[in-house]
């Protein structure tokens, strides 16, 4: 079966709704801004799909949950928080020019939300469909993970409307990802009078950076990258404390277990130094097996569609780890996530809305 390349979806209406969402700024951890954003998302959903979009309160802000009724079959998953601070909109207002929509969050991932809602609006029968739009995906999904996992298990299939991969490809696999912080405690002393009386946390941290970096196995997709370090107070004081932040990406559960165990086993090199480690691989890997069935359906609907495994994580990592079939990257075609040049390709919006509608039909009829 080949999906229609366009349909009764209105691109102009999608642009109007996208403008509405972008112009309500929604930086993660800003409770008031996220509350306003959640209300705007709920308003768009209700105006296009009917029914009631419920605000699910949390310590991070409101998540949005909508149901088309009936037995749950498929979950549309997204987030309304963005990485951009308040005031970004004034510097980069929403605009449409030369076939691109620009503004904070158009690609990651407000455009995907709008496309999904308008795709569902093409369906006369919306039973069995649920939408969850969270407010904390960009900061780890601490307050939304339980809700995501509950609804994913109830529905049995998940369509994630994060932005597409390069060239419009769907995201058929994702690495597990997390951040660790290694804290080194030493002992301060005068760097000129008696440096030997101290325990140099910066020197110990240097040993730990090399030990941590050596944990990477890029040949099998494991990257362990020290990213931020700090140490010391004054240039004449042996530093008593140092910290190292480390970004970790893994493709398999075995590698997740190995890396987490290695961080737990880190030991000091200098006498008197102490090491403590916090953090974990918070998003488990999303293997390509989790998306295989849904991706095959997408390819039947839209021949020539490509799939890619990517290094970044999403809430699809959580649902795939539960064994729930999950297909990601169904959102906007564009690029520049988290950057000032972020953009969405307007000409792809109708096609993506129709793809979501076709996948929902297929899942419900399976």
Both 121 and 27 in one domain: the answer is: yes
- Strand-pairing partners, residue 222, are 217
Q: Could you report the per-residue pLDDT of 28-50, keeping only the tens digit for each?
A: 999 999 999 999 999 999 999 99
Q: Could you report the per-residue pLDDT of 309-329, keeping only the tens digit for each?
A: 999 999 999 999 999 999 999
- Transcribe 135-204 into DSSP letters: S-GGGT-TTTHHHHHHHHHHHS-EEE-PPP-GGG-EEEEE-EEEEEEEEEE-B--BTTT-GGGSB-HHHH
The answer as to whether 1 is a domain residue is no
How large is the average pLDDT for residues 213-241?
Answer: 97
Both 161 and 305 in one domain: the answer is: yes
Both 253 and 307 in one domain: the answer is: no
Residue 5 in this model has a pLDDT that exceeds 90:
no
How confident is the prediction for the chain on average, in pLDDT? Answer: 96
Both 227 and 271 in one domain: the answer is: yes
Closest CA to 113 of 78, 153, 156: 78
The answer as to whether 4 is a domain residue is no
Both 151 and 227 in one domain: the answer is: no
Identify the domain boundary among 249, 283, 317: 283
Residue 1 in this model has a pLDDT that exceeds 50:
no
Q: Could you report the per-residue pLDDT of 250-266, keeping only the tens digit for each?
A: 999 999 999 999 999 99
- Strand-pairing partners, residue 174, are 286, 310
Identify the domain boundary among 259, 283, 307: 283
**Segments of 1-128 assigned E as strands:** 54-56, 63-67, 74-79, 95-97, 100-102
Both 343 and 211 in one domain: the answer is: no
How large is the average pLDDT for residues 105-115?
Answer: 98
Band the pLDDT of 274: cuts 50, 70, 90: very high
**β 176-185/274-283 pair status:** antiparallel
Measured CA to CA, the distance from residue 364 to residue 366 in angstroms comes to 6
The answer as to whether 96 is a domain residue is yes
Both 164 and 51 in one domain: the answer is: yes
Domain count, the chain: 2
The answer as to whether 59 is a domain residue is yes
Band the pLDDT of 7: cuts 50, 70, 90: low
Residue 305 in this model has a pLDDT that exceeds 70:
yes
The answer as to whether 81 is a domain residue is yes
Band the pLDDT of 2: cuts 50, 70, 90: very low
Residue 355 in this model has a pLDDT that exceeds 80:
yes
Structural domain harbouring 194? 176-283
Both 26 and 159 in one domain: the answer is: yes
Give the domain CATH number at 114.
Answer: 3.40.630.10
Both 47 and 64 in one domain: the answer is: yes
Both 51 and 117 in one domain: the answer is: yes
Identify the domain boundary among 250, 283, 316: 283
Both 279 and 310 in one domain: the answer is: no
Both 343 and 272 in one domain: the answer is: no
Band the pLDDT of 8: cuts 50, 70, 90: confident
pLDDT at 144: 98
How large is the average pLDDT for residues 85-104?
Answer: 98
């Amino acid at each position: 079966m080949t999906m229609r390349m366009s349909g009764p979806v209105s691109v102009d209406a999608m642009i109007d709704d996208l403008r509405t969402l972008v112009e309500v700024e929604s930086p993660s951890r800003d409770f008031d801004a996220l509350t306003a954003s959640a209300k705007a998302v709920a308003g768009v959903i209700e105006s296009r799909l009917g029914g009631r979009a419920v605000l699910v309160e949390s310590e991070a802000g409101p998540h949005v949950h909508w149901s088309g009724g009936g037995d749950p079959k498929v979950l549309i998953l997204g987030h309304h928080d963005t990485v951009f601070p308040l005031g970004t909109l004034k510097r980069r207002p929403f605009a449409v020019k030369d076939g691109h929509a620009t503004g904070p969050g158009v690609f990651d991932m407000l455009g995907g939300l709008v496309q999904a809602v308008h795709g569902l609006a093409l369906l006369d029968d919306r039973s069995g469909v649920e939408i969850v739009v969270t407010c904390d995906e960009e900061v780890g999904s601490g307050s939304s993970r339980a809700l995501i996992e509950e609804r994913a298990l109830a529905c049995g299939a998940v369509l994630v409307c994060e932005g597409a991969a390069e060239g419009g490809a769907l995201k058929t696999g994702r690495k597990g990802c997390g951040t660790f912080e290694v804290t080194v405690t030493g002992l301060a002393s005068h760097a000129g009078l008696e440096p030997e009386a101290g325990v140099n946390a910066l020197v110990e941290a240097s040993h730990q950076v090399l030990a941590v970096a050596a944990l990477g196995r890029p040949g099998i997709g494991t990257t362990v990258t020290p990213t931020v370090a700090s140490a010391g107070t004054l240039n004449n004081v042996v530093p008593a404390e140092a910290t190292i932040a480390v970004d970790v990406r893994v493709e398999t559960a075995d590698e997740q277990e190995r890396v987490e165990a290695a961080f737990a086993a880190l030991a000091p090199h200098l006498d008197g130094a102490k090491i403590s480690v916090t953090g974990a691989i918070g998003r488990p890997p999303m293997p390509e097996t989790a998306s295989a069935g849904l991706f095959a359906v997408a390819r039947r609907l839209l021949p020539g569609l490509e799939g890619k495994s990517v290094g970044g994580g999403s809430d699809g990592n959580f649902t795939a780890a539960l064994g729930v079939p999950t297909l990601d990257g169904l959102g906007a075609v564009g690029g520049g996530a988290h950057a000032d040049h972020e953009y969405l390709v307007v000409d792809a919006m109708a096609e993506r809305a129709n793809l979501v509608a076709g996948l929902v039909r297929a899942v419900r009829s399976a």
